[in-house]
Chain A
Amino acid sequence: MQNSQARFEKLVNALSSDLFRYAFMLCRNRAMAEDLVQETFMRAWRFLDSLRDERKAKRWLLTILRREFARQFERYQPPFDDIELEEIAADDGVNPEVWAVRRGLAKLPDKYREVLVLQVIGGYTGAEMAKLLELPRATVNTRLFRARQQLRGILESDDETPGVGEGRRS
């Protein structure tokens, strides 16, 4: 049991931040995101023995979190919460480009935002995400393509974000 405790603590310390970021991008509410992460780790603790390969720990936890989100917030439609985003911008002191992308992400359809955030946070290949999301790989690729395409479109239409959509031109 001591070994399980050490193993669990290692997972929490290594992965709780990324899980929070993913949870926040799903529900766009900091309090809900923290609840989701807490619940995810409580479930993980109960089934720690089923995690045989530590290299798959992140994917395992993300899967639990996705299911927990679906279970708890099946009928919950997160509002486009400017207050929450403004608060984060102020707290983080983020630059305008980052702020614009964050707003753009919030405007993306959920299914597009999710694959993009998963790719950025997890560094997964299309095949790995297809497995995690239980979707055909072609569907994942299409969503990734459209996510970036739409995000760039949103950014290009925003006059306050010169250069982000196309990248900086010298």
Chain B
Amino acid sequence: MNCIEFRRVLLTEPNTADAEFAEHRRSCPECAEAIERSMHFEDVLRQAVNVRVPENLASRILLKQSFQSPAESPWWRRRRVYALAASLLLAMGLAFMGLSAHFEQRRLSEEFVALINGAPYALTTNESVGSNAISAALEPVGLDLEGPIGDVTFAGRCIIRGKVSGHIVVKGETAPITVFLIRDRLVSGRAVIRSDHYRGVVLPQGTGTIAIVGSPGEALDGIEARVRSAVRWTGTHGARSGPYETQIPGLSV
């Protein structure tokens, strides 16, 4: 490593553990002096980035999360104010029934797109997931896939409207396709998911709901048929039961 290369690394990764960098530092007094100056600069930089954090930030995050936690009683039962808000929303929904189908479709689109964007890691894995791992991921949800649905690269769970649901990513022709499997019926009929970057479909299947979302232009007919054929709601083992399952707020059952 020469002096020019050393100075370039000094401005790029000053804390590098590279052996050549360390060796040049030992052998070149001018570069050794440069790194001493740089260390002071880096120290001040660390202090500059270390801005004051709001007091009780972690507590406020945990408090907010506690209202969303599926481990707890549902949020709409916790506080009367939420119940009132839910009632108000319901009343408004009835008042604007003429627009409800459009509104519901848009809301579903936004919701599923947000779910996908919220789990970037699910889209970046490239290794195939075996059928045993898929079953293990879906078992706590109370469902299984009996038959192949494609080259699965991610199998996990997520929470949709307070409900632990299946979350699968399958390789598509142009981009990954995301499949959500919700044990309860969210929709009364087939609906389209549409956003700037995604196209998909959400449809009732037995006692549950399937949502399939891919990139615009991606053909989803094949995977839809395979998922519909493969999905089996396996009962309540490991999944929630009782009124919690059937009284999810805002559903158009």
Contact = CB atoms under 8 A, between A and B. Distances in A.
Given A12-B61, A166-B37, 10 more contacts: A13-B58, A24-B51, A34-B57, A46-B118, A47-B115, A47-B159, A64-B120, A71-B117, A98-B44, A98-B47
Interface of B: 8, 11-13, 15-16, 36-41, 44-54, 57-58, 60-62, 64-65, 68-71, 114-115, 117-122, 137, 154, 156-159, 167
Nearest to A163: B40
Q: Is the interface of A mostly helix, strand, loop or mixed?
A: helix
Contact of B121 (A37, A51, A71): A51
Q: Is the interface of B mostly helix, strand, loop or mixed?
A: helix
Given A5-B71, A45-B68, A101 B118 contact: no
Given A94-B47, A149-B11, A167 B53 contact: no
A123 interface: yes
Interface in A73-106: 88, 91-92, 94-95, 97-99, 101-102, 105
24 contacts: A1-B71, A5-B69, A8-B65, A12-B58, A12-B61, A16-B58, A20-B51, A21-B50, A43-B114, A47-B115, A49-B137, A50-B154, A60-B120, A63-B120, A63-B121, A91-B52, A98-B48, A101-B47, A120-B46, A125-B13, A125-B16, A149-B11, A164-B44, A167-B39
Contact of B159 (A46, A121, A149): A46
A63 B69 CA distance: 22
Q: How extensive is the interface on chain A, given as a class? A: 35 or more
A1 B162 CA distance: 13
A105 B48 contact: yes
Contact of B68 (A12, A20, A42): A42
Given A64-B118, A144-B11, A12 B45 contact: no
Kindly name the residue among A9, A47, A164, A166 whose own CB sees the greatest number of chain B CB atoms within 10 A: A47
